[in-house]
Amino acid sequence: MARIEGFVAMSHSPFWDTNAPVSGPGETFVRGVAEARAAVARIKPDAVVIFGPDHFRNFFYDVLPPFCIGLESVVGFGDYGTPKGELPLDRALARAIQAGVTEAGFDPAVSLKMGIDHGLSQAYAVLEPSLKTPMVPIMVNASGSPRPTMRRCHAFGKAVGDAIRAMPDNKRVLILASGGLSHWIRPVSEEDPATTAETRDYVINGRERVVEYSAARDASLQERIKQGVDGRVNAEWDRWFLDTLSSGDLSPILSLTDDVLQENAGNGSHELRAWVAAMGAWGGPVAPIAYEPVRSWVTGMGCLGGFAGDMAKGRAA
């Protein structure tokens, strides 16, 4: 039977240049990610099942599912220096997951040519730099409401884990989650009164304008980096979240509402649904590997891990 050999959850950020050495802000986090990468290399996964968000580059309000599984092809958008073009996908594993979660009572969307942006591809590329290990991408909607509840995400993730373990072949699988931690971004959800009319039109009708939109966002990011960025981060809440996941009692997290989450950790923290879903799939103990509030990256950057027979040691700045 297939075995889930490890779990990693990590933050992503457009401001993090993963192709350059990091010194100063972000260094502690990046050092922790290197530890996670070494642990992943030791278990030599045959496939990576990755949960993460999309940032209105592949999914729009014309059709916005709570979950989507890539089944046949996965294409990196290439935003913010992340992989562009076709990436390897484990079709047999993807089909088994889709069948398993359906049997468990879930009805995710499926894609035979699934696009992913930095919300999924940055973490994958950092942990698997050769880009050779096949993935199964699972998009968890976090960008705009209606979003699946934390409890629903965890239950869905458990169904994914059960489906993986039910596979008859002797496959080693890594569960990976990408998103969060606390960060405040410009409003994009259609129901948020702070979302501008221009942005609201884009998230509904922007599918044909996405290349132009993304290029403008990339250029804006570079300008913000030049000018210097001092983003809002709630380090106290981030540490609470990491500690709660590590405690094994997820009930305080599963009961979080959108309003409470957004008030304490920002509208960008909805991405932590991916962590909760991945925790459901993993189902084992985890420990913090690194945490650092990186205001110049506009995000509380965290990394959490668990590995069969070799638990990650907690190191929090």
Of the residues 12, 55, 118, 270, only one is catalytic, namely 118
Yes or no: say if 14 and 316 are a contact pair by the CB < 8 Å rule: no
Phi, psi (deg, nearest 5) at residue 109: -70, 155
Q: Is 154 a catalytic residue?
A: no
Please, which residues have CB within 8 angstroms of residue 109's CB and are 6 or more apart in sequence? Answer: 63, 65, 67, 68, 69
Yes or no: say if 180 and 301 are a contact pair by the CB < 8 Å rule: no
Token output for 246: 């590590």
Of the residues 55, 154, 183, 270, only one is catalytic, namely 183
CA–CA distance, 261 with 258 (Å, rounded to integer): 5
User: Nearest Cα to 12, choosing from 68, 71, 67, 83?
Assistant: 83
CA–CA distance, 112 with 275 (Å, rounded to integer): 24
Interior angle at CA 54, CA 242 and CA 259, nearest 5: 55
Cα dist. 222→120, 192, 211, 219 in Å?
Answer: 21, 27, 17, 5
**Which residues does the annotation mark as catalytic?**
118, 183
